[in-house]
Every structure is written in structure tokens, then in C-alpha cells.
Amino acid sequence: MINNIILKNIATYDKNTETTIKPSKINFIYGNNGAGKTTITRVIENPSKYEDSQLLWDNNIECSRLVYNQDFVKSNFNPETKLRGIYTLGEESEEIYKEIEKLNIERKDILDTKKIKKEQLKQMKDDIKKYKESIEDLFWNKYKKDYCDKISEIYRGNMGKKENFFNKCLCIEETNDKILYDDLLEEYKTLYENELKEQELIEKIDINQFKEIIESNILETAIIENKDITLSQLIEDLNNSKWVEEGIRYLEKSNNKCPFCQRDLQKDFLFNINLLYDEKYKEQKNDLDAVKINFESICNQINILLKENNKIFNDPQLIIDINEYVDSIKKEINKKIDNPKYICKINKNLILLEKINEILDIYNRKIESNNLKIKNIEESKGELKKKAWIFIRTISNDDIKQYNAELKKRTDAIQNIETELNNLSIYLKDKSIELEKLENSISGITRTINQINDLLKKFNFNNFKLKENEDNLTYSIIRPNGEDATKTLSEGEFSFISFLYFYNLVFGSRTRKGLQEEHILVIDDPVTSMDSNVLFIISTLIRNLIDLCIDEKRNINQIFIFSHNIYFFKEVSFLYGKEGKNKTKEKFKFLTVQKINGVSKIEDYKNNNPIKNSYEILWDGLYMAPDVNLNQNAFRIFRKIFEELGHLNHYKMMMQEEIEE
């Protein structure tokens, strides 16, 4: 059904502003000749011919239009062409006709069901689209912004649109790989941000060397002087071995004088002193000095290692523990240096140094890996990209599982609807095939001739009738003597026969396949040059079409009736409107078309008929007169008549003036 008619830049309608009609099921449109009625009928019939005008349809479903206007008359009742036959169902086919009506009802039910299912399907698809958009927003804000933006080069190509990013996440297969974001960041910096160069491996602590030093026998051996020398006991008693040992260094430069008291030394004293610190003592002392030097050297290496790689050793307590451990050993060695007889008490547990080397092993493996990646940079970037997407897929796994489950549920529902629609289409096709078979088996053009000729005869139109031509496809209009009457028909006869032809076309078709096609009827001024008798006949026929349309029978979808004839307009519409059938009054609409200053205007009266009957006309200003003063004089005389007859109150009632008590 048409739900909107838009008129613009056509005939007498405004070139710049749209004139709009919002029609109902049955539409009565009144207007004088030249007001713009026929223009509306032409737009309804073929809107594509008029660039700025258009029709809008319910659910965008267009149906055929059957238009009766002067164009229809000229094209069908042309002396140069034969009148095409109208196919209808024969009288002998009533049972089949009932079957056809039944099939049509079934077809309509199927179409209605399809319409509902299509609306459901559209709503479901819209819901899925909105649901997916909400999930795309979630992934964009939750994962893309929080994770991907920091390492954007890895995800390049999939972050321009929310939809692309989400679809990429969906297509990554779920894995059990545990990938840490910090690892991705570090590798990203190596491959994309840092200057790409290979690194040297960091040398580890030589634990074997360290162990060899702290386990040296000299640290656990008391270094003592020669016990066979008498002086040894004295030195031991005085506990000044270190003092004596240091003093010996000065004897060579003291000219046989004591380096401390400057007295002359006896020859046997010097001899005994040299015997006291024999070769064994000196050898042990040298071993101790070597241990100290070696330990200080390895401690220096450890210090440098920890300082230069402080970012690697990010455990402050471990550094403290190592320093305390090294210092404890150093103290013990120093004690031994100060007192060679001292036995060192050294903690030989190397777990802290092993911990340092474990950390270095892990870091060195990363260096080796990075060096290899630098050598194969593009391949490394590709592997990093794979890991980065696996990471996103892993952390979003719960959201993806929920989405897939919900999507499946909704998709299954859509598939069910689509299956139902497909089945309905099959049923509809089957019904259409049945209808076509029934129509082809019984349709013909003869019945239409008989119906039209019967009507002509009943209404005393005996001067002409229709005749089926030998081709069994067309009609001729002939006189009783068989002569062609097309060129000699009066205007009234011509109008009547053309409308009867149109009326029968409503119930038939010019082709066998169009018998059950739904259509919209447009009837424009069908009573031109007709007397009151014919006007009544045509009004009755049109009311029959209206009733069929209201009852949704015979495939009449919507009706538009145009006229400038007040009496015909009232005659054809008096049963309807605001005062008419209450149950269906909302299906009727009354409109008027007026041309003001050369521009057509349309007034919508809804279901209130603005055209009055012949008695009401006397009381309204509907009487058309070019002179306003003459019109007022007529009213004054009219009032005087009622006043003289003693019915002034009736006059006032009809004129809606205040009535005197």
C-alpha cells in the first residue's frame, strides 16, 4: 500500500517545496477541473517519469496500479488499435474459483508470515550487529589500548578499525603457551627501539678459582718460626713475632746496629735471627701473600661485575649478602696476615656465587638469543608478532569463549528463521504454480463481453455493444447492425463503456497470469458528460469496489477516487467517513485539491467529509459565485423566505446562529 505521495516540480505543484499526501486505504479527493487531480493520478501510475516526485510504500513492497483517467481512455479506446480482451474466470468454473480464492487466502497467509519472519530476521541481524559492535568496543578499550598501543609496530595493519582488530583476535588459535607481557616489551625494545648490535656475553665468576683460594691449605696452617732456635721461645713469649719480622728488613742497612735501639748487634744474634726465619717459614709466608693477592683480585672482579651489571642484579639483598660474604673471608685472611700462626675460619658455602652465575646464565642466554635475532631480524620480528597475537588471544580467551557461545546461539536462531523462510518460499511457489494451472485451465475473454453487454442492456444502452474478434484476444465496439461504433459514440457513451471496461479489468487481466495480482485502483472523474442515471450506476459499481477493498477481497489493495462533480462525490462517499461505518472509518480519508495563484494545494480532512449533500449545500457557502456581493444578496433573500414562512429558527440552526427562545 502507498503510504506517502510526494509531489514537486510537476505541472501546477510547487517547484521548490514538496507537497505531501499521506493516504489511507480508501481516499476521496475533490477538486475543480485544472486543480491538479490528474497530475496526482499520473504520479501514482508511473512516478519514475517525474524526477522530483515519488511514492513511498509500506515495507518497501510495491504493487501494480490500475489507473482510470483520460490517459487510460485514450490508450484503450483508440480507433487505430483494437480493444484488448480481458481474461476472467468463466461461469462454469465456480468450484475452481472457490479453490482459487482458497489458494489466494493461503498465499496471503504465507506472505504475511514471511513478512513477520523477515522482520524477525532483520531484528535478529541488527541485534547481532549491535552485540558484535559492543564486543569490538570491549576489545578495543580493554586489550588494544592497554597492551597493543605500547608495542604498536607488532600489531600494525590490524589496529586501524575496531572490527579489524577484533576479527584478528578471533582468528588466532587458542594455545597453552604462557607468554609474559614484560618479555614482549623487552624483545620489542630490542628489535624495534634499541640500536641493533650484537652484545658480548658477560663473563661469570670463576667459582673453581674462588674455591681453590678459600680452600688453600695455608689458610688453615699455623706459620711459625724455627723452634730449634732459643730466640724462638722468647719471641713467642713476647708475642712480637711480627715486630721482629719487620725489623729484620732493616738489618742490611743498619751497619750491624739494632734498627730499633741503635746498639751494636752481636754476630751470633744475627746468625740466630736468620736461622729463626728459615726457608720453610719464608715459603709459607709467600704462599699466604699469594692467596691474599689472588683473593683481592677475584674480589675486584666480582665488584666490577656487580657494578657494571646492576640492572641485571636487581635483588638488593643478594648484593648485600655477597658483599658481607666476601668481606668475611677478607677479614679472615687479613687476620692470618697479621698473625701467621692464626687458623682462618672461612665459610666455604658458595651458594651466593652460584646464584650470581645462575642469573648471568639466564641473561647470557637472552644475549645469545638476541644476537641470533639480530642476525635474522625479519624472521625474529615475525616470530615476535606471532607471540604478541598469541598473548592477546590468551588473555582475552574468556571473552572470546563467551562471544562464540552467544554468537552460536543467535546464529542458530537466525538459521532457523532462514530455514522457515526458505520453506515458506517453496510453499508460496507451489501455491503460485497451482493458481497458474487453475487460471490457465479456465480463463477466457468471453465472459467479460457478456458482463459488459448485460450491463449496457440493463441500463438501456442499446445503441452499441462489444463483440469478440476472431483472434479471440480483442474486442470491437459495434452498432446493432454490426458497424464499427468507435468513431460515432457520444461523449457520454464513450465515458460509460470505457469505465465498464475498466471495472471488469479490475476483476480480470489482459494476460492469463495477472488474474490474481494485487493492485491499487485510481479512478479519476469517471462521470464526465453523464446523466444522473449513469452517475448512479457508476457510483454503485465504485462502492462495490470500495466494499471489496475494505473486506480485503479480490486483491484490491487501496483505492483513490478523484472528482470535481459534487453530486457524484457525495453519492460515492455517503456511506463512509466520520458518519459512516464506525468499524472502518479509520480506513477512509477525504482530501481537497485547490489551485491558488496558479499553485496546487492539498487539504487533508482525515475521515471528515468536507462535501455536503444537496440540502446541506443550500446552507454552506459551497455555492460557487464569482461576485461576493451577489452571494450575500442570495443569502439575504434565502433568509427572508424562512422568515416569511415562520421557520426562522430552522434557518438559524442550519446557519449555526443563536436561536431565540
pLDDT digits (tens, 9 = 90+) for 597-640: 889 999 998 888 887 654 455 555 744 434 445 566 677 888 88
Contact 305, 202 (CB under 8 A): yes
Hey, what's the cell of 529? 458528460
pLDDT confidence tier of residue 4, bands split at 50, 70 and 90? very high
| Top mean-pLDDT range of 23-27, 68-72, 248-252 | 23-27
The residue ranking higher by pLDDT, 460 or 568, is: 568
The pLDDT of residue 275:
56
Going by C-alpha positions, the residue among 627, 631, 618, 622 that lies closest to residue 32 is: 622
**Which of 16-20, 427-431, 510-514 has the lowest average pLDDT?**
510-514
**Which of 2-6, 166-170, 242-246, 468-472 has the lowest average pLDDT?**
242-246
Rg (the chain; Cα; Å): 57
Q: Give the sheet arrangement for strand 64-68, strand by strand.
A: 64-68, 519-524, 556-563, 26-31, 588-596, 599-604
The dihedral through the CA atoms of 127, 129, 130, 136 has a sign that is positive
Average pLDDT over residues 503-521: 71
Question: Please, what is the average pLDDT of the chain?
Answer: 79
pLDDT in tens, 202-218: 888 888 988 888 888 88
pLDDT in tens, 541-571: 888 889 888 888 777 889 999 998 888 888 8
Asked if the model's pLDDT at residue 256 lies above 60, the reply is: yes
pLDDT confidence tier of residue 23, bands split at 50, 70 and 90? very high
Residue recorded with cell 594455545: 175
Asked if the model's pLDDT at residue 522 lies above 90, the reply is: yes
Average pLDDT over residues 513-517: 60
What span, in angstroms and rounded, lies between the C-alpha atoms of 514 and 447?
16
CATH domain 1-63+518-604 topology: Rossmann fold (3.40.50)
pLDDT in tens, 286-334: 888 888 899 998 999 888 888 888 888 888 898 899 899 999 989 988 9
The pLDDT of residue 559:
93
The pLDDT of residue 624:
43
pLDDT in tens, 325-337: 999 989 988 988 8
- Domain residue limits, the chain: 1-63+518-604, 79-87+445-517, 113-196+377-414, 207-375, 612-661
What span, in angstroms and rounded, lies between the C-alpha atoms of 498 and 73?
6
